[in-house]
Amino acid sequence: MVIVTPLSRWQLSTQEEEKIKDVFGKKLAEITDAGEMRSMMKTLLSRSEYLMLAKRLVAFVLIEEGYPDVEIGRILHVTRATANRFRLTYRYAKEKNEPLVRIVHEVRASEVMKEILKSLVKYAVAAAGGRIPRKGIF
């Protein structure tokens, strides 16, 4: 059982919560335009929430690439424990054959991700030598 910080003083019933999540999921599935999706996500999520979702996706790609938790933590500026949670989440998704796994494979194969991974490797090599670029990865 996962304990989550309450979002409101007045909790929704489990049924209400499921209905809201179902409507949200269906509406997300209807969006096919990348610009529209980006705009919606930026409107719905705070900057840090949006970034954390993006980091999770990149972490899953790095896990597929065989990176250890320590390197994932360094590259994405998360703790090793967080990187390990990403790994466990992704392992569970793979065991259940979740659609996320297919998405991760598609992202991993994309040209954009190949460029990002090259930048990450350059960054990791410099960081391993004790030189951490001020600008970050890009």
pLDDT per residue as tens digits for the range 18-40: 999 999 999 988 998 989 988 98
Residue with tokens 């179902």: 22
Name 103's Cβ contacts closer than 8 Å, sequence gap at least 6. 57
Query: Quick one: 22 and 79 in the same domain?
Result: no
Residue 122 lies in a domain: yes
Residue 36, amino acid: E
Query: Quick one: 78 and 120 in the same domain?
Result: yes
Residue 4 lies in a domain: no
User: Which tens digits make up the pLDDT trace of 86-128?
Assistant: 999 999 999 999 999 999 998 888 877 777 777 766 766 666 6
What pLDDT sits at residue 36? 92
Written as six digits, the tokens of 92 are 């569970």
CA distances from 90 to 45, 54, 61, 64 (A): 22, 14, 10, 9
Query: Quick one: 35 and 53 in the same domain?
Result: no
Summary mean pLDDT of the chain: 84
What pLDDT sits at residue 11? 84
Range of the domain at 34: 13-44
Whether residue 81 has pLDDT greater than 70? yes
Residue 76 lies in a domain: yes
Whether residue 133 has pLDDT greater than 70? no
Average pLDDT over residues 28-56: 89
Task: Enter the pTM of the model.
Answer: 0.71
Q: How far apart are CA 123 and CA 131, in angstroms?
A: 9
Query: How many domains is the chain built from?
Result: 2
Residue 105 lies in a domain: yes
Residue 2 lies in a domain: no
